[in-house]
Amino acid sequence: MADEVVLLDLWPSIFGMRVRIALVGKGIKHESKEDDLRNKSDLLLKMNPVYKKVPVLIHNGKPVCDSLIDHRSVHRRLDEVWNDSSPLLPSDPYHRAHAGQVLG
């Protein structure tokens, strides 16, 4: 089964830009869906019912949302699933914790 990857995003979002760069850097084929945050789509409300914000990475129907607490969750998921290409985050927990300072 081929991986289905959808990114719910808004083009000027710097948070979405980080995910787009990561997807391209890892060579992951994906579909981008832009969402109107003033008129949020049913898909966004279903995939991120708590924060109702983008970006949301949907991998095989399962959402992974960036949050204020863990803004690296999408990057970690990409590293875990697509581990055959260059890692986005360090494998060492200490260095991974400090990588958040670089990723913003």
Q: Residue 104's pLDDT band (boundaries 50, 70, 90)?
A: very low
Mean pLDDT of 39-62: 95
Give the torsion through C-alpha atoms of 87, 88, 91, 96, to 10 deg. 170
Distance CA 2, CA 15 (A): 26
User: What tens digit of pLDDT does each residue of 7-16 get?
Assistant: 999 988 888 9
Peptide bond before residue 12 is cis, with ω within 30 degrees of 0:
no
pLDDT category of residue 59 using cuts at 50, 70 and 90: very high
Domains in the chain, number: 1
Provide the residue range defining the domain that includes 62.
5-103
Nearest Cα neighbor of 69 from 50, 44, 45 is: 50
How many whole angstroms separate alpha carbon 68 and alpha carbon 36? 20
